[in-house]
Structure formats: structure tokens, C-alpha cells
């Protein structure tokens, strides 16, 4: 069983206000009689499901090509949290004990990848710190940022930096039962870049437990 937890990249996909949405430029097209079809993509690297690099939030931070790949492959827990829109997830909102070193949180506060709503939920820095104490190395979320939309000092991002943890944003976790999976979400080797889109998938889930909310 494989769950695809990435939104489709189309020209409708919402990006952060002011950022560069995806555009496909078709240079050659077999439907027009060309011998091949050939196209180019222009877009922000914070596109759909993506991995942030530390250089996104720290001037001397590692770029995405410099990050260890083991963050992005391995055991992963999916958890649903009840959090109001525009609020930060706190430790008290976690519904089950941590079972893996990667944690993906479903909030349901950014329900349509093609529509950018600014009142999505985020992570409290204290929660990031607490998950680090429990040996978590990666946290993923179904919103465009681990900090709230109007945050300027980015306290959650800064806590990821302090503990050298990895961030996945823009995941689509609808329909994924809570439980433990294998995560595969490799960033592209974009030298010097501050993020990369990922094709995020979850494998397995034999021991996953459906929770009624
Ligand atoms: Zn990002």
C-alpha cells in the first residue's frame, strides 16, 4: 500500500502570496507535429509538498543539496490533531504517544492545495523542542508553513534550526489513517537552493490504527 501525500503540481496550485506559481512552457509538442514533447518549468522551490533547507531561515544554514538524505527516508508516524485555524499545535493536542523519529501532523486547516487560506495552523516551538527530546528528526505538516502566516520571527523554524531537524510542508494527509509507515520524500539535489519539492509517499501501514475523531 502506498499513500501519495503530495498535491498535484498544476498552474492552479497555490503558492505563498507573492511567490512564483508553477508555469509550464511547452517548447516542442508532438500534438503539433514536433518529433518530441519538451517543456520547461518555472516555479518557487517551496512548491506543493516540499522540504525546507536551513538556508531558508538562517543566513549561514545548509542548502537543500547539503542535507543528509536519511531525514527523508524511514519510519514515520501520522497523527491527526484537533487545532483551531490560525492557532499553533501544542504538546497537549497530540493524541497518541510518539512511535517514530518522523512525525506528520494532519490539521485539516489548509484543505485545498489550489486555494491559499492564511488562517492555517502551525507548530508551537515548544512542541518542536519536545518532539526533539523524543528523538524526532523530521516533522511534516499539511499547511504551507510550520509557523503562522503572519509570523515574522519564525519561532518554530528557529527551533528546527537549533536542533538540526528537517521540515516538510504542504503535505496532503487527507484519508491517511493514523499509524506508522515508511516515509519516502527525497528532495532534489538543487545546489545552493533553500528548499526542494518532494514526491512524498507513505509505504505500509500494516500496524496503522484508525482513530475516530
Ligand atoms: Zn517552505
How far, in Å, CA of 101 to CA of 185, rounded? 14
Task: Please classify residue 209 by burial: count the beta carbons closer than 10 Å to its beta carbon, then call 0-12 exposed, 13-18 middle and 19+ buried.
Answer: exposed
Percent of the chain with pLDDT over 70: 96
What CATH number does the domain containing 98 carry? 3.50.30.50
Predicted local confidence at residue 206, as pLDDT: 54
Task: Tabulate helix, strand, coil % of the chain (nearest 5).
Answer: 15, 25, 60
Query: Has residue 22 been placed in a domain?
Result: yes
Percentage of residues in the chain with pLDDT exceeding 90? 95
Q: What is the pTM of this model?
A: 0.94
Distance from Cα 30 to the centre of ligand 1, integer Å: 35
Secondary element (H or E) of residue 76:
strand 73-80
* 175 Cα: distance to centroid of ligand 1 (angstroms): 23
pLDDT tens digits for range 54-67: 999 999 999 999 99
Number of structural domains (the chain) is: 1
> 185-201, pLDDT tens digit by residue?
999 999 999 999 999 99
| 153 found inside a domain | yes
pLDDT recorded at residue 52: 98
Active site residue 163: no
Question: 77-126: per-residue pLDDT in tens?
Answer: 999 999 999 999 999 999 899 999 999 999 999 999 999 999 999 999 99
- Examine residue 104 and state whether it is found in any structural domain, yes or no: yes
Residue 115 domain-assigned? yes
52 CA from centroid of ligand 1 (Å): 5
Active-site residue, from 56, 115, 132, 157: 56
Question: What's the mean pLDDT when you consider all of the chain?
Answer: 95
For residue 171, the enclosing domain spans 2-203
Does any domain span residue 107? yes
Model confidence at 175: pLDDT above 70: yes
Q: Is residue 212 part of a domain?
A: no
Whole-number pLDDT of residue 207? 54
Return d(Cα 52, Cα 44) in angstroms, integer.
12
Q: Is residue 145 part of a domain?
A: yes
**C-alpha of residue 145 to centroid of ligand 1, in Å:** 6
Place of cell 503530495: 6
210 part of a folded domain:
no
| Cα–ligand 1 centroid distance for 62 (angstroms) | 14
Q: What is the pLDDT of residue 209?
A: 46
Amino acid at each position: 500500500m502506498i499513500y501519495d501525500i503530495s498535491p498535484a503540481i498544476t498552474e492552479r496550485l497555490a503558492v505563498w502570496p507573492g511567490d512564483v506559481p508553477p508555469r509550464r512552457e511547452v517548447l516542442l509538442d508532438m500534438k503539433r507535429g514536433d518529433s518530441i514533447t519538451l517543456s520547461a518549468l518555472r516555479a518557487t522551490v517551496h512548491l506543493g509538498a516540499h522540504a525546507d533547507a536551513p538556508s531558508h531561515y538562517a543566513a549561514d544554514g545548509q542548502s537543500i543539496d547539503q542535507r543528509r538524505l536519511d531525514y527523508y527516508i524511514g519510519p514515520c508516524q501520522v497523527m491527526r490533531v484537533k487545532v483551531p485555524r490560525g492557532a499553533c499545535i501544542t504538546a497537549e493536542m497530540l493524541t497518541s504517544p510518539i512511535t517514530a523519529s518522523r512525525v506528520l501532523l494532519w490539521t485539516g486547516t489548509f484543505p485545498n492545495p489550489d486555494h491559499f487560506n492564511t488562517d492555517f495552523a502551525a507548530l508551537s516551538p515548544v512542541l518542536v523542542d519536545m518532539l526533539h527530546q523524543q528523538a524526532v528528526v523530521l516533522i511534516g505538516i499539511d499547511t504551507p508553513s510550520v509557523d503562522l502566516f503572519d509570523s515574522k520571527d519564525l519561532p518554530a523554524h528557529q527551533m528546527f534550526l537549533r536542533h538540526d531537524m528537517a521540515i516538510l510542508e504542504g503535505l496532503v494527509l487527507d484519508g491517511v489513517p493514523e499509524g506508522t509507515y515508511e516515509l519516502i520524500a527525497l528532495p532534489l539535489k538543487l545546489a545552493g537552493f533553500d528548499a526542494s519539492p518532494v514526491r512524498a509517499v507513505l509505504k505500509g501501514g500494516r500496524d496503522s490504527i484508525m482513530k475516530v475523531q
